[in-house]
Amino acid sequence: MSVENVRRTGAQILVDQLRLHGVDLAFCVPGESYLSVLDALYDHRGTLRLIVCRHEAAAANMAEAAGKLTGQPGICFVTRGPGATHASIGLHTAFQDSTPLILFVGQVARGHEEREAFQELDYRRFFNPQIAKWSAQINDPRRIPEFVSRAFHIATSGRPGPVVLALPEDMLDEECEVSDPLPYQPVQAAPEPAAMAALGARLVRAVRPLVLLGGGGWTDGARRDIAQFAEHFQLPVAVSFRCQDRFDNRHPLYVGHVGVGIDPALAQHVRDADLILAVGPRLGEATTRGYTLLASPRPRQALIHVHASAEELGRVYQCELLINSGMANFAAAARTLAPPAGLAWRAWTDALRTDYLSTLAPTPTNAKLDLARIMVMLNERLPRDAILCNGAGNYATWVHRFYQYPAACAQLAPTSGAMGYGVPAAIAAKLIHPERMVLAFGGDGCFLMAAQELATAVRYGLQIVFLVINNNSYGTIRMHQETHFPERVSGTDLVNPDFAALARAFGLFGERVTRTEEFWPAFERARDAGGPALIELITEVENITPRTTLAALRQRAGISN
């Protein structure tokens, strides 16, 4: 509800704006630079949940995950200086993952600026232009409604992304009278009829087409519409790096994940395609395998690129057709296209699907604990609406390969490649969807970058299962090290705590698993523990990916064991 001409402090005006724009959840690490906001939030504690975190990076990652799940800006408050720089990782992920997020940063008093005051930074210069879509400072409390409204519009319109607003502490205490605006309205482009007609005409001429879905801005309706479009044309559908929940992986048209650890057969199919319809992805380095699957600037394949940002279209690739559109608007228009009487690519689609299904069979291994078999168990037994969260590391390749995501927001994973994301993302997921099962995967290196947030999970009573895959190594770096500098291990070995005991110290259920057959009984105990639980999975660094071992990498490099 808007407020007209009532005298309020800047902090009260700010919190009123959040409620006006529909915010009911925010994440923070408290700081003296925005004490007035914390006080103003006290009056809204029945309608706006404030989740207190243990590190600003985690708070920002929680807000980013909330933005992914809801499509509305995730909200985060941090203090100046170290608080803002810690939070920058969440903003970087939101920028690269096209996630709406608004970060509010306490700032030094206006009269202290440009003196290198305590923890002073100029956030406009620090965050712009590659970490935030827009970064500004509110110096006049009368302009708070204007700036906050603009922040919501920028964060959600076009290509979604993060926005930063700095709040001088004396401005927050200043009183004034100001009217509130209307609630924000996200704006998305829609495809022109001529562009859709050109797309339909080009599809008719294709022999080996491939749809590639990804990017941000997807809704449940957009997922349903794009599935109907694919079904009408019987098109094979792949997904870009860590965007597997854009299309039901069990659908007969789903053909795999084009990202890190791509199946070699799928990589060859991408190269062999005569038409690629990329809907949503930026077509960055991870999805294009270093810009080789799609050669830059002119791909061998005919490329049709659909993206919410006009600035992204034509940025890297020269395309046959560029369509500026939000995902929901494009999917709705694509669903109405009429397929040709005869489809020349049915055998092509069937072959891609067959190759994908073959990747779901685990490669035989002598490992005591086989991550592939564990992922197959989870794939077969988890509820279909379970939410899986992970950060970065080789452990995630097992999740991406063997788990089949539904066409729903069920995957929280950073395309930015940020470690330490899985734990905070799971906390945000369980807060927003308490009725859904939530799992957080983390390697030993990745997990310890956010392990302190186990305290947050306990504080709020969140029934999350944390799975820590422990091979005592920074596995991804070790893999590259063995490829380029075989048998010269440096900087990648780790010494770890007893993660199960660490979990119990925080107040969680904790258990260690060393053999495959021990996993499911342990998982059932963790699932039924009545609160957050952690299972430590002891693995061997030798089994470095689902497809290869360190010994095989050395052999390829010409080094014998």
Q: Please report, for the chain, the start and end positions of each structural domain, with discontinuous segments joined by +.
A: 6-178, 193-358, 371-556
Topology, domain 6-178: Rossmann fold (3.40.50)
pLDDT band, residue 4 (cuts 50/70/90)? low
| 482 token code pair | 């063995």
The pLDDT value given to residue 553: 86
Residue 135 · residue 162 · CB < 8 Å: no
pLDDT at residue 561 is higher than 50: no
Bridge partners of 513, per DSSP, are 537
Query: What pLDDT, on the 0 to 100 scale, is given for residue 51?
Result: 98
What are 218-268's pLDDT values in tens digits? 999 999 999 999 999 999 999 999 999 999 999 999 999 998 889 999 999
Model confidence band, residue 293 (pLDDT cutoffs 50, 70, 90): very high
Burial status of residue 368 (CB atoms within 10 A of its CB: 0-12, 13-18, 19 or more): middle
Q: How far apart are CA 515 and CA 526, in angstroms?
A: 16
8 Å CB contact between 242 and 225: no
- The whole-number pLDDT of residue 129 equals 80
pLDDT higher than 60, residue 94: yes
User: Residues 171-223: pLDDT tens digits?
Assistant: 999 999 999 999 999 999 999 999 999 999 999 999 999 999 999 999 999 99
Contact 545, 263 (CB under 8 A): no
pLDDT of residue 3: 67
Q: How far apart are CA 539 and CA 469, in angstroms?
A: 7
pLDDT band at 556 (very low <50, low <70, confident <90, very high): confident
Q: What integer pLDDT is reported at residue 119 of this predicted model?
A: 85
- pLDDT tens-place string over residues 404-435: 999 899 999 999 989 999 999 999 999 999 99
Percentage of the residues of the chain whose pLDDT score is greater than 70: 99
Q: Would the pTM of this model clear 0.85, i.e. be above it?
A: yes
The yes-or-no answer to whether 6-178 and 371-556 have a common fold is: yes
Q: CA dist 123 to 77, 79, 130, 531, Å?
A: 14, 12, 12, 39
Q: For 138-158, what is each residue's pLDDT tens digit?
A: 999 999 999 999 999 999 999
For residues 52 and 456, is the Cβ–Cβ distance under 8 A? yes
Extract the tokens encoding 431.
């807060």
The dihedrals phi and psi of 496, each to the nearest 5 degrees, come to -120, 160
Has residue 300 got a pLDDT over 90? yes
What pLDDT does 559 receive?
62
Cα separations in angstroms, 162 against 11, 59, 94, 367, 487 = 21, 14, 6, 43, 42
CATH topology classification for 371-556: Rossmann fold (3.40.50)
Q: d(Cα 196, Cα 284) in Å, to the nearest integer?
A: 24
Predicted confidence (pLDDT) at residue 1 exceeds the cutoff of 60: no
Q: Give tens-digit pLDDT for 440-480.
A: 999 999 999 999 999 999 999 999 999 999 998 988 989 98
Q: Which one-letter amino acid corresponds to residue 336?
A: T
What is the radius of gyration, based on Cα positions, of the chain?
24
Sign (positive or negative) of CA dihedral 206, 212, 217, 222: positive
pLDDT, the chain, mean:
95
Instruction: For domain 193-358, give the fold.
Output: Rossmann fold (3.40.50)
**CA nearest to 203, candidates 301, 353, 339:** 339
Residue 368 CA, distance from chain mean position? 32
Q: How far is CA 92 from CA 53, 96, 308, 417, in A?
A: 19, 6, 19, 10
